Structure 1
Amino acid sequence: MVTTTVIADLCIFLLTWNVGTHSPRDQQLTSLLALNGNSTCPGNQLPDIYVIGMQEVSTKQVLKIFQDDPWVLKIASALQEHEFVKVEAKQLQGILITMFAQHKHIPHMKNIETEATRTGLGGLWGNKGAVSIRLSLYGTGAVFVCSHLAAHDDKLKERIEDYHQIVDNHKYDSVGYRRIFDHDFVFWLGDLNFRLSGNMSAWDVRTDVENGRYADLLKLDQLNLLREKGNAFSLLEEQQPDFAPTFKFVEGTNDYDLKRRPAWCDRILHRVQSNVYPGIVLSANQLSYQAHSDYTLSDHRPVSATFNYRVESANQTFTDEELYEMTHGAASTPTAPNVSLTFAFILLVAVPYFQH
């Protein structure tokens, strides 16, 4: 008889949003962050971990004395009453990623690193590229990548080059996890900017969208075609979107701006190496994948996904500390987020600023 021990059973919420350089000041994030009873986590519970990636964040710091971007502060103010702690954040010009977690998970997060890769202007400019957060999460190696790839219909080649440049240039210090795809769990989100192949007009695309013919349009989706051919993102999986294209809208409305063909630019993909350790089974069952049409701030719609992140052992009893020794090695020096500083920052800064 096989006995199974659950080392970790987490609900992870991922969100990507191109905010078009807009300020977060007037945005209410309660619904977007599933804080109003609309969670897709098991039992309608709040997520254990939030990872939020943004693109086209304004680089004009509203409050230059603050280290964190106003969007990070806004998210912190929404999550603080639910006792979430900011784990880390990384920004490259307008590309931003931040992670928040429930208190109880902080002791199980080690070797936290961030990385950034510029791909704009041949790697000289950070308006396009990627930022990431990697860590040991309950003993397993997890990485979260947020990218903004080259724009416009005719820049497919550049998007492919951006992807490979990010994969080649992203490097970490953790033993055994030097590169993105060395990790046991990989989550990749962002404005990937993939469009529809072929010559359909914007009006014809909109007609198909209005008639719910998503499956037909997704056969023309550049990301799907690339993954099938193995040109880019082929190591990752994606649940096919069952929501309307998330780009390009007239700001403040749900009407498509037909100067551009509607497309699924905003995506979330993942990869799990399920059975790389003896007696250990890793899984990330996707629970949801949705666009949030109520958030009309920019010409993109935010897209979220939730995953059930599970680490189990069969016929053995492992603690996550023992799993950490197996995966990261005893020679590693674990590092953890500075919880006290994060709390002080949230309490003293975030709430007063956003109550104005």
Structure 2
Amino acid sequence: MSAAIPKDQLLVQIASYNTALQGSTGLPQNLVDWLSPTLQVSSFLSHSPRGPDVVAVGFQELLPLHLGLSGASKSVIDKRSSHILSQIETHSPDKAKYSLLASIVNVGVALLVYARDEGIARQVCDVQTSWTGCGPGFMGNKGAVGVRFRVSDVSDDDKRPGETYTFVCAHLTAHQQKLQHRIADFHHIVGTLLFPALPFNEDKSPTTMYSTSHLFFLGDLNFRIDLPNSHPMSADPHAYISEALKEPESRETLKEFDQLLVERRKRSVFVGFREGAFWQFPCTYKHCLGAVDQYDVKRTPAWTDRIMYTTYSDSLEDMETSQIRNLLYTYIPSYTISDHKPIISLLLLPPPSSFDSNLDDQRKIPTIPLPGFYTPVPDSLATLKRYTGRTLDRIVGFTWWLFTLLGAGSAVVGIFNFFIGATAYKWWRTSRSST
């Protein structure tokens, strides 16, 4: 492409990585392969060498679960934030500077959003964050976090409120057979990951993630590949899928058995969302630790890690294509410290739509259009559910942490030591009272 990117079109870079409970050691020092993908789209950017306007980085399984449940996630994400920011700026093709707009973490799910200083960061306002859990008892071992902000219109003679951007990072229920749990997780997130009412809106009720101009959903969504029983290789799916992943043509055939794609086509989940051609790269899970391209034989490979999006100018008539242009969607095989591979997407947003002359329309923030059969509604018990889950997080987390401390790093050994100690204490009390 020979033309430069128009100034009114934003580049949004989204990255996601399940770091397999690695904590502060979960990232290599040099993140150029993951966070600086512009070399792979150099033909597009060659006439406009610029870094992205917005960078969103999501993590799942950020640190050991007992530490996450105990509330120790913030220190880890703070360290990662400064490291990520330095890497983004170091490898930016035009040496741009960035600022952290917001960060949010709940147990092991985290999201950081950065904006380019010269440009969009100056227009950002109304920054909001939200979190929710969808594990047992609404605990946060599974769940989502979100960031929303508004980009105001800076024209002196224009009173339009601008557009809102919402990013959601999630970790859904695992295991091949738990498809319905994943679908339920998504709808729980829609109902409980709530944000304040949109500015300039008469209705002051909380809003769902869909009440936005641009929506991005990323994370370890855990959807698997389901070969039907009629498939000749259904008895040994690992061997068939591992072989099929080697060639682009066979991956395109394999995508038809992807649970997420199948359910999206049914409109049972992720209604309104679009996605790039995920089958253009091999499955991101489950890899052997330390290996670039070797899958664990105990799990069937799957595209568990995904990035999806939609915008207010997308058509209800065509639910597959988007006005957002997907310039890049790939995985990074060189990262070997996790059983997941990180993924990255570079998205070119459409220019802001022109409003008609109706003054009321000009004063409203445009939002995602949805089909008539789907009306997301905030859960009236969202706050109760969220804080019930957080209370359970802390109780389980601190108990687990104490057992781990007693076991010198092993909760199992800690439990054993606890019962040995309790038994010894009881025997001592009994023998003392008998004398």
* TM-score, normalising length: structure 1: 0.80
1:136 is matched with 150
Give 1:98-177 correspondences, 5 Å limit.
98-104=112-118, 105-123=120-138, 125-138=139-152, 139-175=162-198, 176=201
1:206 is matched with 242
Q: Between the two structures, name the one with larger relative contact order (CA 8 Å, sep ≥ 6).
A: 1
1:287 is matched with 327
1:187 is matched with 216
Q: Are residues 1:56 and 2:61 paired?
A: yes
Q: Distance in 2 between matches of 1:21 and 1:202?
A: 25
| Letter paired with 2:268 | N
| Letter paired with 2:105 | Q
> Structure 2 vs 1, CA of residues 64 and 250 (structure 1 numbering), >3 Å: closer, same or farther?
closer
Please give the secondary structure, in 1, of the residue aligned with 2:11.
Answer: strand
Q: CA RMSD in A?
A: 2.9
Q: Distance in 1 between matches of 2:211 and 2:174?
A: 28
Aligned residues with identical type, % of pairs: 26
2:271 is matched with 234
2:290 is matched with 252
2:301 is matched with 262
Distance apart, 1:37 and its partner CA: 4.3
**Structure 1: runs of 5 or more not aligned:** 1-5, 277-281, 329-356
Using the TM superposition, name which of 36-45 and 252-261 deviates more: 36-45
1:87 is matched with 101
2:110 is matched with 96
Using the TM superposition, name which of 15-24 and 32-41 deviates more: 32-41
Kept in 2: contact 1:8–1:309 (CA 8 A): no
Distance apart, 1:172 and its partner CA: 0.9
| Letter paired with 1:15 | A
Please give the secondary structure, in 2, of the residue aligned with 1:17.
Answer: strand
Distance apart, 1:44 and its partner CA: 3.9
More strand by share: 1
> Structure 2 vs 1, CA of residues 115 and 34 (structure 1 numbering), >3 Å: closer, same or farther?
same
Q: Are residues 1:196 and 2:225 paired?
A: yes
Please give the secondary structure, in 1, of the residue aligned with 2:243.
Answer: helix
Please give the secondary structure, in 1, of the residue aligned with 2:122.
Answer: helix
Higher Cα Rg, which structure: 2
Q: Are residues 1:222 and 2:259 paired?
A: yes
Q: Distance in 2 between matches of 1:243 and 1:65?
A: 33
> Structure 2 vs 1, CA of residues 316 and 162 (structure 1 numbering), >3 Å: closer, same or farther?
closer
Distance apart, 1:260 and its partner CA: 0.3
Using the TM superposition, name which of 186-195 and 23-32 deviates more: 23-32
> Structure 2 vs 1, CA of residues 324 and 171 (structure 1 numbering), >3 Å: closer, same or farther?
farther
> Structure 2 vs 1, CA of residues 35 and 193 (structure 1 numbering), >3 Å: closer, same or farther?
closer
**Structure 2: runs of 5 or more not aligned:** 1-5, 153-161, 228-233, 316-321, 367-435
* TM-score, normalising length: structure 2: 0.66
Kept in 1: contact 2:109–2:145 (CA 8 A): yes
